[in-house]
């Protein structure tokens, strides 16, 4: 075979080839070159490399969850479950695996992103609780109903317990259950709020064999002062109080079967119960005063709790909670911190007339006033002492909360870094004390705020009619009523206007 130089004889003929301008004819693959050598066959392009499967594990900063992202790659084959488990273990995820979610993700084609593990949160312990083991006892901490009024219930005979009788069973707070994050690290449990029996004890004590059982140490009337608190008051019983018996002063409850005569005094730290009349006498009780008959002839009654009687005439009554008169209250001075109710058991002729009735939340009577009885004055909706108490309580709670948070941080710090000096038990005890103090104040604040809300909703309710000259005072707003005013509920609007709402709910402006 001839060479290319032999075929192209002249310089002119060789020039295009020497300078790269010669035309190129297509040469079939495998054909011989002009020199006689076989031309190389071009190699086929190799395919792009296959994208492999990928497993990504992401653990939340608080280690409460672990997410997994699966990419099957170009093969499209789901990722093997065993490979996912290996990746989780390599990422330190050891607890709370969701087997069902993992299996579903590994059986589903295409990319997947899901929660593969969840922490087990710690369980808070149950708070301490108290169970009364007696069915009948006095309440010195009455509750408000949905209308913001004292849930006043009439009591019968004085309940009495015997020495050694079980009164309250306490169930201590439980420790709770620890949890675990997805890395297997423990999450400490929060113990329940451990509330002890309230002290000091009066007439009661712990059972020698059971520190969670409170029993009576003396015979007397059981009285509840709130959660976890009961005392047993001694009961002094007398047929009547008169010149023959003399005045009565007793640390406990006094039960008078008959009357209290004019000029006689009965003072008791507990309740005073009178089966007959109080005629011009003086009764002062730390608890309730309950009179089966009436109070007349300038009788004076002061009770830390409530006062109840069948009727009242020309007498003075003061109650720390409520005054409840079954029939009539005539020409008397009635003052209750919460409410006054007259005529509840005598709708046809129950009447509040003459004198002055003052209550923070509510005054009610079938008939208000008396045509020939002079002016009847009703005051509702003011309590400066309650406002001051609320402000003081809020300041106290701020200080208690700051102390509680400080103790909590100390406990958390000692738990996290260690406690070589053994301070943790005392720190926990101080934290519990601070929690208890703040919790007690919180309950008290709720009670005070409920009372404040009731003050804003103060009202006077007349279910029958207005008779004679009646003057209503809401806070500082005075409104005069007359016979044309009729039955209804009188209240104060936000703009200072006194309105009357008919018992069928229609409202009318009065001032």
Contact by Cβ (8 Å): 467, 483: yes
Residue 452: inside a domain: yes
**How far is it, in rounded angstroms, from Cα 182 to Cα 92?**
8
Residue 422, phi-psi category: left (phi > 0), alpha (psi -120 to 50), beta (remainder) = left
Regarding whether 378 and 264 lie in a shared domain, the answer is yes
For the stretch 266-289, pLDDT in tens is 999 889 999 999 998 899 999 899
Q: Which of 71, 88, 118 is the last residue of a domain?
A: 118
pLDDT band at 226 (very low <50, low <70, confident <90, very high): low
Residue 212: inside a domain: yes
Regarding whether 302 and 401 lie in a shared domain, the answer is no
Regarding whether 352 and 321 lie in a shared domain, the answer is yes
Residue 487: inside a domain: no
Spell out the residues 6+ positions from residue 215 whose beta carbon is closer than 8 angstroms to its own.
164, 165, 166, 167, 204, 205, 206, 207
Q: What is the DSSP letter of 484?
A: G
Regarding whether 378 and 272 lie in a shared domain, the answer is yes
Highest mean pLDDT among 30-44, 125-139, 295-309, 459-473: 295-309
pLDDT band at 24 (very low <50, low <70, confident <90, very high): very low
DSSP string computed for 399-432: HHHHHHHHHHHHHHHHHHH--TT--HHHHHHHHH
Residue 403: inside a domain: yes
Which residues are registered as beta bridge partners of 325?
309, 342
Residue 80: inside a domain: yes
Residue 332: inside a domain: yes
Burial degree of 25 (CB within 10 A; 0-12, 13-18, 19+) = exposed
Residue 42: inside a domain: no
Regarding whether 336 and 268 lie in a shared domain, the answer is yes
**How far is it, in rounded angstroms, from Cα 127 to Cα 114?**
37
Regarding whether 302 and 338 lie in a shared domain, the answer is yes
Regarding whether 307 and 356 lie in a shared domain, the answer is yes
Regarding whether 412 and 372 lie in a shared domain, the answer is no
Contact by Cβ (8 Å): 26, 39: no
For the stretch 351-396, pLDDT in tens is 999 889 998 888 999 988 888 868 899 888 866 677 788 888 999 9
Residue 33: inside a domain: no
- Which has more pLDDT, 218 or 347? 218
* Whole-number average pLDDT of the chain: 82
Regarding whether 292 and 207 lie in a shared domain, the answer is no
- Which has more pLDDT, 455 or 464? 464
- Which has more pLDDT, 215 or 499? 215
Regarding whether 91 and 164 lie in a shared domain, the answer is no
pLDDT on residue 489: 87
Q: Which of 342, 358, 384 is the last residue of a domain?
A: 384
For the stretch 392-448, pLDDT in tens is 899 999 999 999 999 998 888 888 888 888 888 888 889 988 888 898 898 888 888
Range of the domain at 434: 385-456
Q: What is the DSSP letter of 198?
A: P
**How far is it, in rounded angstroms, from Cα 98 to Cα 153?**
56
CB 103: neighbour CB atoms within 10 A? 12
**Vertex 188: Cα angle to 184 and 189 (nearest 5):** 125
pLDDT on residue 459: 86
Count the domains in the chain: 4
Of the candidates 54, 66, 71, 63, which has an alpha carbon nearest to the alpha carbon of residue 97?
A: 66
DSSP string computed for 391-407: HHHHHHHHHHHHHHHHH
């Amino acid at each position: 075979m001839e060479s290319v130089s032999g075929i192209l004889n002249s310089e002119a003929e060789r020039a295009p080839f020497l300078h790269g301008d010669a035309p190129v004819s297509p040469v079939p693959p495998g054909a011989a070159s002009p020199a006689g050598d076989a031309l190389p066959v071009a190699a086929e392009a190799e395919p792009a490399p296959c994208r492999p499967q990928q497993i990504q594990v992401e653990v939340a900063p608080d280690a409460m969850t672990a997410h997994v992202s699966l990419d099957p790659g170009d093969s499209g084959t789901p990722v093997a479950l065993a490979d996912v488990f290996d990746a989780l273990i390599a990422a330190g995820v050891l607890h709370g695996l969701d087997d069902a979610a993992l299996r579903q993700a590994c059986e589903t084609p295409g990319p997947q992103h899901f929660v593969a593990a969840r922490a087990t949160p710690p369980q808070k312990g149950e708070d301490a609780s108290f169970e009364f083991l007696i069915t009948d006892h006095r309440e010195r901490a009455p509750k408000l109903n949905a209308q913001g009024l004292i849930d006043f219930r009439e009591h019968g005979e004085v309940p009495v317990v015997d020495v050694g009788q079980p009164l309250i069973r306490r169930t201590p707070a439980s420790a709770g259950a620890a949890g675990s994050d997805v890395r297997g690290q423990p999450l400490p449990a929060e113990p329940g709020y451990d509330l002890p029996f309230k002290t000091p004890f009066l007439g009661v004590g712990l059972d020698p064999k059971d520190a969670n059982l409170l029993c009576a140490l003396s015979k007397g009337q059981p009285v509840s002062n709130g959660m976890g608190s009961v005392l047993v008051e001694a009961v002094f019983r007398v047929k009547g109080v008169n010149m023959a018996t003399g005045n009565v002063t007793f640390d406990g409850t006094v039960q008078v079967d008959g009357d209290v005569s004019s000029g006689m005094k009965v003072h008791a730290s507990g309740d005073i119960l009178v089966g007959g009349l109080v005629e011009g006498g003086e009764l002062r009780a730390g608890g309730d005063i309950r009179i089966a008959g009436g109070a007349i002839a300038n009788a004076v009654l002061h009770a830390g709790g409530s006062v109840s009687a069948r009727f009242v005439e020309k007498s003075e009554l003061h109650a720390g909670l409520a005054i409840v008169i079954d029939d009539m209250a005539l020409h008397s001075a009635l003052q209750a911190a919460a409410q006054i109710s007259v005529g509840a058991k005598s709708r046809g002729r129950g009447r509040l007339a003459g004198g002055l009735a003052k209550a923070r939340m509510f005054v009610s009577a079938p008939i208000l006033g008396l045509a020939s009885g002079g002016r009847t004055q009703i005051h509702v909706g003011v309590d400066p002492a309650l406002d001051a108490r609320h402000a003081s309580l809020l300041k106290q709670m701020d200080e208690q909360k700051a102390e509680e948070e400080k103790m909590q941080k100390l406990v958390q710090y000692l738990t996290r870094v260690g406690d070589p000096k053994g301070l943790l038990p005392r720190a926990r005890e101080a934290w519990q004390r601070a929690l208890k103090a703040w919790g007690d104040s919180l309950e008290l604040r709720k009670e005070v705020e409920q009372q404040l809300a009731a003050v804003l909703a103060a009202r006077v309710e007349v279910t029958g009619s207005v008779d004679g000259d009646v003057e209503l005072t809401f806070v500082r707003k005075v409104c005069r009523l007359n016979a044309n005013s009729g039955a209804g509920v009188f209240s104060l609007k936000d703009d200072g206007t006194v309105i009357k709402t008919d018992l069928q709910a229609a409202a009318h402006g009065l001032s």
